[in-house]
Amino acid sequence: MVRATFKSIVNDEWKYIFRFKEDTGTIFKRQLFNLHLDPGEQNNVYDKNKKIASRLVSKYLRFEKNCKRYNSKKKKAKLDKEKIDELKSLGYVK
């Protein structure tokens, strides 16, 4: 089973939603909405505005590439007994 993720980017006028295959990096479902003309997002205008969608997805991918959340190395947190007990009391740790 191929894992896929929905991603989106919104600016003042447009909302672009795309489904992204994680194994190949390809986009296979696209939706573009003009939020000024279609605030209820009923009309997918991707086919008529592919250049706008392309600019938006490029902007999103640049953001993701530069975002620490997506590119940071995971580090193990060092917690003392007091912090562990606090996390347990809050239900975060068993």
Total of domains in the chain: 1
By C-alpha distance, which of 31, 25, 28 is closest to 8?
A: 31
Mark 64-81 as b/e (b = at least 16 C-beta within 10 Å). Answer: eeeeeeeeeeeeeeeeee
In a domain, 94, yes or no: no
| Structural domain contains residue 50 | yes
Range of the domain at 47: 4-89
Indicate whether 33 belongs to any domain.
yes
Average pLDDT rounded to a whole number, residues 55-81: 79
CATH number where 44 lies: 3.30.1120.10
Spatial neighbors of 60 by CB under 8 A, at least 6 apart, are 7, 8, 9, 16
Give the model confidence (pLDDT) of 14-61 as tens digits.
999 988 787 887 878 899 999 999 999 999 999 999 999 999 989 988
- Residue 82 maps to a domain: yes
